[in-house]
């Protein structure tokens, strides 16, 4: 499932593969951030379970959605309107239809984005109030099921997403330069700064917007 990296069971809860050495592995070596995950996590109890992509591959794919020179804040500010335009005039039945049994529907993707915005807003405020605070991971697929995303009203989810995003962006605009460097300790990925989170979320938005575009694209006739 292409979702927020926080909760991909195929990556973070089903990690396998060969031994990668001791200590910690840098997840963002080319950035200025010291985001790390213990190497033991990558070689431990999930060894041998197939995975769609590695943590680094997933991170690179999400970050690559944000091109050099693009402002992650502006991308985030535009996301809700883009999604609203994409679903305009689409029937609720089509929005709730999964393209494949294991792939989320448009309605589920939008509900996911709305809930992730709650999580990100809370995390950033915890980090700012207590730098170095632990960050708890969550399982996005369990949230889809337990939160009954298939029953959510897509329009209301977009509005929830829009309002929460505006509040989070207003907070970010108020920060001083040093506050952007404050970080939390993610339970599975290690250090994540405010600056890094902002870029990841911009890429996460674009990843899901492109998913929605693919799902709603007219099918070629035979």
Q: Is residue 115 in a domain?
A: yes
Q: Is residue 62 in a domain?
A: yes
Q: In the chain, how many domains are there?
A: 1
Residue 28's domain comprises: 5-216
Q: For residue range 32-52, list pLDDT tens digits in order.
A: 333 333 333 333 222 333 446
Cβ atoms of 112 and 154 within 8 Å: the answer is: no
- What CATH number did the domain enclosing 189 receive? 1.20.120.450
Global pTM reads: 0.76
pLDDT for the residue 48 = 36
Q: Is residue 66 in a domain?
A: yes
**141-145: average pLDDT:** 94
Provide the CA 56 distance to its chain's centre, in angstroms: 14
Q: For residue range 74-120, list pLDDT tens digits in order.
A: 999 999 999 999 999 999 999 999 999 999 999 999 999 999 999 99
What percent of the chain lies above the pLDDT cut of 90? 61
pLDDT for the residue 218 = 85
pLDDT for the residue 80 = 98
Q: Is residue 222 in a domain?
A: no
CA dihedral angle for residue 27, residue 30, residue 34, residue 37, rounded to 10 degrees: 10
Q: Is residue 221 in a domain?
A: no
- Rounded to an integer, what distance in angstroms lies between the CA atom of residue 189 and that of residue 80? 27
* Three-state secondary-structure class, residue 192: strand
Cβ atoms of 207 and 2 within 8 Å: the answer is: yes
CA dihedral angle for residue 201, residue 171, residue 110, residue 56, rounded to 10 degrees: 10
Q: Is residue 138 in a domain?
A: yes
Q: Is residue 117 in a domain?
A: yes
Joined together, the tokens standing for residue 205 give: 């938005």
- Residue that wins the pLDDT comparison between 69 and 25: 69
**Class of residue 220 by CB neighbours under 10 A (exposed 0-12, middle 13-18, buried 19+):** exposed
**183-207: average pLDDT:** 91
Helices 154-173, 72-87: crossing angle, 10 deg rounding: 170
pLDDT at 185 over 50: yes
Question: Other CB atoms closer than 10 Å to residue 185's CB: what's the count?
Answer: 15
């Amino acid at each position: 499932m292409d979702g927020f990296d926080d909760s991909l069971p195929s990556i973070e809860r089903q990690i396998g593969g060969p031994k990668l050495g001791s200590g910690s592995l840098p997840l963002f070596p080319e950035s200025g951030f010291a985001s790390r995950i213990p190497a033991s996590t990558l070689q431990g109890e999930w060894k041998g379970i197939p995975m769609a992509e590695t943590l680094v591959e997933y991170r690179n794919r999400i970050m690559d959605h944000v091109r050099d020179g693009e402002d992650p804040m502006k991308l985030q500010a535009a996301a809700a309107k883009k999604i609203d335009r994409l679903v305009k005039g689409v029937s609720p039945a089509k929005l709730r239809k999964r393209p494949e049994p294991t792939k989320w529907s448009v309605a589920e993707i939008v509900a996911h984005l709305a809930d992730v915005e709650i999580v990100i807003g809370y995390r950033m405020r915890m980090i700012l109030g207590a730098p170095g605070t632990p960050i708890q991971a969550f399982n996005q697929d369990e949230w889809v099921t337990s939160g009954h995303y298939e029953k959510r009203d897509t329009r209301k989810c977009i509005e929830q997403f829009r309002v929460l995003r505006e509040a989070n962006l207003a907070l970010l605009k108020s920060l001083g330069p040093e506050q952007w460097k404050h970080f939390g300790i993610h339970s599975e990925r290690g250090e994540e700064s405010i600056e890094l989170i902002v870029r990841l979320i911009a890429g996460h938005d674009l990843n899901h917007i492109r998913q929605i575009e693919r799902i709603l694209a007219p099918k070629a006739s035979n």
